[in-house]
A = this chain, B = another copy of it.
Amino acid sequence: MSDVKKVVLAYSGGLDTSIILKWLQDEYNCEVVTFTADIGQGEEVEPARAKAKAAGVKEIYIDDMREEFARDFVFPMFRANAIYEGEYLLGTSIARPLISKRLIEIAKETGADAISHGATGKGNDQVRFELGAYALMPGVHVIAPWREWDLNSRESLMAYAEEHGIEIDYAKQSKKSPYSMDANLLHISYEGDILEDPWNEPEDDMWRWSVSPEQAPDEPTYLELSYEKGDIVAINGEAMSPATVMETLNKIGGDNGIGRDDIVENRYVGMKSRGCYETPAGTIMLRAHRAMESLTLDREAMHLKDELMPRYAKLIYNGYWWSPEREMLQAAIDLSQEHVNGTVRIKLYKGNVYIAGRKSEKDSLFDESIATFEDDAGAYDQKDAAGFIKLNALRLRIGAKRGN
């Protein structure tokens, strides 16, 4: 093994990262710093402290990063209306660059020369963690145990744990979900087990954050979302921080059966995989943001955004948040949001998000006096359209004469 002296481990306190912690200490014979973040996954992070301490860790970081996550990662991404492959709202992807950033900050604070994570060698997360780490600390050493060790089955992991005296909560293991899951403020994801056959419909008890549309209330819920520069700043008139916006919309959305998705996606490492996602807040935010833009954003600015979006989403999916090209796109996107101010009214009903109204006192570009079917009192001269069409058609006519 290499001469790593100190490694910062992204540590959940669960069995897998506890095994990694031990493995790092033994195999690399190095000091381990643990970092546990609350990014809204819905589990207590404080218990990780005692476990790390018990494992001999001296430097233990436990951070509540929910506001930073929502404000600096999720919200900027939603300004872009980002969707990967027409379906995926990037719930896992957008959390990784935040973790990388904090891992590297801690490495610099503690003088560590390496970071480590529990992502496997088949997935996207290893790429996202490591591209972020390298971009922020180019000389960092990255240890990805899943790519190095030979503990390739649950049995071998359990055996390793027992052999090395790592406490196993057998009760928890036995009632463990058969799915591989990941959660944060933006979503919870499910992979594996019966989902590995894309013809299988997920069983209803898999879903954790939302009721099924069938079980959702028979009455719709209406909400008013207030926007400033493309971000939601209030719900039903009540000002809220970004993380609170998301928690609120997750709750209300989940109660109305909003945000379930079931997709086959293309991983950056080259394979297709099947995943199910619950993204209640994100599903609402995407729809409502588009509605706010539809009223306040210039046509060509919107179309430029639409053409750039797939590339932006792909960058985030592939792990390039911390890259010059993502920052360039973000600069363009953020500039476009200057006037995306106003209110969107939405109706939530059994899995559906409907736009029930949009308005903007100062920033609407909808000009009823021009668009009206009634007499517009000269606001628009219909004869202008003749010249507009004639010149737009000119190249087509010349081409047709040639015989296109």
Contacts and interface: CB of A to CB of B under 8 A. Distances in A.
Interface of A: 81, 85-87, 120-122, 126-127, 130-131, 134-139, 142, 144, 146-147, 152-153, 180, 191-193, 196-201, 213-214, 218, 220, 260, 262-266, 269-274, 290-291, 294-295, 298-307, 309-311, 314, 320, 322-325, 327-329, 331-336, 339, 345, 347, 349-352, 354-359, 362-368, 370-376, 380-402, 404
Nearest to A257: B352
Given A271-B380, A382-B147, A387-B383, A399 B335 contact: no
Contact of A332 (B307, B332, B364): B332
A23 to B, nearest CB: 16
B373 A384 contact: no
A272 B368 CA distance: 9
Copies in the complex: 4
Given A264-B295, A390-B384, A371 B272 contact: yes
Contact of A294 (B135, B147, B263, B388): B263
Given A301-B325, A335-B327, A371-B122, A402 B365 contact: yes
A220 B263 CA distance: 20
B398 A367 contact: yes
B401 A138 contact: yes
Contact of A395 (B266, B306, B335, B352): B266
A294 to B, nearest CB: 4
Nearest to A320: B300
B270 A371 contact: no
Contacts of A355: 262-263
